Amino acid sequence: MAQLSSGIEIAAADVRLGGRLVLEGLALWLTEGRIGILGRNGSGKTTLLRLIAGLIAPDRGRVRVDGFDPFTDRRAAVAGLGILFQNPDHQILFPTVEEELAFGLAQQGLAQAEALAQANAALQSEERAHWAKEPVTSLSQGQRHYLCLLSVLLMAPRTILLDEPLAGLDLPTQARLARRFAALPQRLVTITHDPATVAGCDRVLWLEAGRIAADGPPDAVLPVFAAEMARIGASDADADLAG
């Protein structure tokens, strides 16, 4: 996949949460179209995603996405970045499907009537026009994931951040979402603990205890990661694992 002309810059960034150093001295320049961030629970990968999204600021260093600071320039962040959380219920705010889809467009400055019209047009194009007035609670887990993705795509961001996007879904739903992700023109940054999820990425970062343990193409990083996970798993001790 061709690299994009802009990128994500993280320069000497530290992040402390609750007095604990979660990310330390990260220095990254990410320009690839498909980027995977791989690591165990507690490795700092969700914190890194939140840092890129501008949901938190670094305690030291700086973050730029396509030239803007996502923490201080929220208007640019809303326009340029989309986030798909692991649990769609942490993302959905409104009672009906059309209201949920219209919300992001309204945040970008569209009048409510136009936002609703675009939401319904998107549902029509997806052959889901009958969803419009339905309560979000009537959708399955996979359908709510799909709704969140459609909401993000309506806002036309240049970069989409995916937090364990296939976790907890059945295999047919995983396959459908994976095909949709693969076809998207946007830069995708995917965080996961599952090597298979990032096997098709252009670049994979292995994050361990808040630092980059390996960085490169999947065929270079994933075997080393798998070997280390096997080594750790061979021991019954789990005292090193973060909560």
- The H-or-E segment that residue 17 falls in is strand 8-17
Of 154, 219, 221, 214, residue with least CA distance to 186 = 154
Q: Is 214 helix (H, G, I), strand (E, B) or coil?
A: strand
Q: Is 8 helix (H, G, I), strand (E, B) or coil?
A: strand
Kindly report the CA angle at 169 between 174 and 126, in degrees rounded to 5? 55
Given a cut of 80, is residue 151 above it in pLDDT? yes
Given a cut of 50, is residue 132 above it in pLDDT? yes
Of the two residues 52 and 5, the one the predictor is more confident about is 52
Q: Is 119 helix (H, G, I), strand (E, B) or coil?
A: helix
Q: Please state the φ and ψ torsions of residue 106, each to the nearest 5 degrees.
A: -65, -35
**pLDDT for position 237:** 58
Of 185, 215, 183, 184, residue with least CA distance to 202 = 215
Q: Could you tell me the two tokens for 113?
A: 């009537």
Give the type of residue at 36. G
Give the type of residue at 112. Q
The secondary structure of residue 3, as a DSSP letter, is P
Which range (3-12, 32-41, 101-110) has the least confidence? 3-12
